[in-house]
């Protein structure tokens, strides 16, 4: 299971101004002197709209949600996937519950056993659990990501508001637990008042009663689950899933060797079938890690303290060349750093080799859905 970039680290990317600022993270766009070769373009053009994960480090959940939403557009023959209503899309917030391995003997087809929302996870594992095991994901309309997004236009100010919100959630939960150790009634009074404040200050979809109950959960992840996924979202009418008959594919498979040549060949093959695919990679700067397990900041004892990996959707390929006929492979990605990132970075066209090298060509670094005939 991958460790994703921490929230504040993620958002700092979206606030960088220049296009070249992203080269260090494996998302290196080519300069204007490199022109695309039209006859080389392979692209999936009918995609869900680009979204932003803002200050919540659940890129894997956005990727898994995008793959399901796109597949549902194919199944339902939707001509403009970017305009699909929130009622027909899956919630990335809810998707984040599915990147966990349940304990042995636990029914992994029962949605109720996937408790708690967490930052960091595997897009491939979340997709499989949500689409093929539990087969049940809350609709975006019931648990919208918009409820945890700063409601101001200035990105820096929005970031500060969101960080303050996450701090408020965590501090409130920790304070309740501490109070409960010495005075159960005091803790209840604190939780009641705080639930009202949280509901009023942040306009969450959950009811005051849902938020109050959340304080009794035994982990912060489960607390977030209760306050961000309202209780009525568990009703079948507020659930959706992957429609039609699909299989999930991974590359490289266990025991399968991969390198740049085989990886880019596989990507072109999948894109030719009009299927987008995910990729997990290391954003560490400078890049010192040689495996995804080592991708991040380590303590003096060598323990990984902060993950620095990210996940994106690949939706296009092309060759780009300059006037000296120097050519490179480029991939078009859909990134959960939002539309501003896409618009500032050549609509997501980046250096394929730089990006793929940062995946270390590890098992299951790519995943995609194939429609059964």
Q: What is the pLDDT of residue 114?
A: 97
Whether residue 121 is found in the same domain as residue 39: yes
Whether residue 296 is found in the same domain as residue 348: yes
Residue 295 lies in a domain: yes
Per-residue pLDDT of the chain (373 residues; tens, 9 = 90+): 443 433 333 333 333 333 334 566 778 889 899 999 999 999 999 999 999 998 899 999 999 999 999 999 999 999 999 999 999 999 999 999 999 899 999 999 999 999 999 888 999 999 999 999 999 999 999 999 999 998 887 888 988 999 999 999 999 999 999 999 999 999 999 999 999 999 999 989 999 999 999 999 999 999 999 999 999 999 999 999 999 999 999 999 999 999 999 999 999 999 999 999 999 999 998 899 999 999 988 777 777 767 889 999 999 999 999 999 999 999 999 999 999 889 888 999 999 999 999 999 999 999 999 999 8
> For residues 226 and 211, is the Cβ–Cβ distance under 8 A?
yes
H or E segment and range at residue 249: strand 246-251
Residue 154 lies in a domain: yes
Three-class secondary structure of residue 284 per DSSP:
coil
Whether residue 111 is found in the same domain as residue 248: yes
Whether residue 103 is found in the same domain as residue 130: yes
Q: Where a domain ends, among 228, 253, 274?
A: 228
Whether residue 85 is found in the same domain as residue 210: no
* Residue burial 83-115, b: 16+ Cβ < 10 Å; e: rest: ebeeebbbbbbbbbbbbbeeeeeeebeebeebb
Q: What is the pLDDT of residue 282?
A: 94
Whether residue 122 is found in the same domain as residue 245: yes
**Virtual CA dihedral for 99, 104, 110, 111, nearest 10 degrees?**
-30
Whether residue 135 is found in the same domain as residue 151: no
**Residue 307's CATH number:** 3.90.70.10
Please indicate, yes or no, whether the overall pTM of this predicted structure exceeds 0.85. yes
Residue 24 lies in a domain: yes
Q: Where a domain ends, among 202, 228, 254?
A: 228
Whether residue 273 is found in the same domain as residue 361: yes
Q: Where a domain ends, among 173, 208, 228?
A: 228
Residue 128 lies in a domain: yes
Task: Please choose, from the candidates 191, 155, 156, the residue with its C-alpha nearest in 3D space to the C-alpha of residue 172.
Answer: 191
Whether residue 105 is found in the same domain as residue 77: yes
Whether residue 339 is found in the same domain as residue 260: yes
Number of domains in the chain: 2
Structural domain that includes position 211:
145-228
CA pair distance 249, 9, nearest whole angstrom: 30
> For residues 215 and 191, is the Cβ–Cβ distance under 8 A?
yes
Residue 88 lies in a domain: yes
């Amino acid at each position: 299971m991958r460790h994703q970039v921490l929230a504040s680290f993620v958002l700092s990317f979206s606030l960088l101004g220049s296009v070249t600022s992203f080269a260090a993270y494996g998302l290196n766009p080519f300069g204007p002197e490199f022109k695309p070769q039209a006859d080389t373009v392979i692209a999936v053009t009918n995609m869900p709209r680009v979204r932003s994960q803002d200050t919540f480090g659940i890129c894997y959940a956005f990727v898994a949600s995008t793959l399901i939403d796109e597949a549902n557009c194919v199944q339902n023959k939707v001509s403009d996937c970017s305009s699909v209503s929130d009622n027909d899309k899956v919630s990335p917030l809810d998707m984040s519950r599915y990147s966990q391995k349940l304990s042995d003997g636990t029914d992994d087809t029962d949605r109720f056993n996937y408790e708690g929302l967490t930052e960091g996870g595997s897009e491939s594992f979340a997709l499989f659990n949500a689409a093929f095991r539990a087969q049940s994901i809350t609709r975006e309309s019931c648990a919208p990501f918009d409820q945890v997004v700063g409601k101001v236009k200035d990105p820096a100010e929005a970031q500060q508001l969101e960080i303050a919100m996450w701090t408020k959630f965590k501090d409130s939960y920790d304070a309740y637990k501490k109070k409960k150790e010495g005075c159960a009634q005091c803790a209840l009074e604190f939780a009641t008042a705080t639930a009202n404040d949280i509901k009023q200050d942040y306009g969450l979809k959950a009811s005051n009663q849902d938020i109050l109950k959340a304080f009794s959960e035994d982990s912060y992840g489960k607390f977030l689950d209760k306050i961000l996924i309202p209780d009525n979202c568990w009703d079948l009418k507020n659930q959706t899933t992957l429609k039609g008959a699909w299989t999930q594919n991974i590359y490289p498979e266990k025991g399968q060797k991969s390198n740049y040549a085989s990886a880019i060949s596989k990507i072109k093959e999948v894109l030719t079938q009009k299927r987008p695919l995910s990729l997990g990679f290391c954003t560490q700067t400078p890049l010192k890690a040689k495996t995804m397990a080592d991708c991040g900041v380590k303590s003096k004892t060598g323990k990984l303290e902060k993950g620095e990996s990210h996940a994106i959707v690949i939706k296009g390929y092309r060759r780009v060349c300059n006037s000296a006929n120097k050519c490179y492979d480029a991939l078009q990605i859909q990134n959960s750093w939002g539309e501003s990132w896409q618009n500032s970075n050549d609509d997501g066209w980046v250096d394929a080799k730089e990006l793929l090298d940062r995946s270390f060509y590890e098992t299951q670094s790519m995943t995609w859905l194939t429609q059964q005939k």
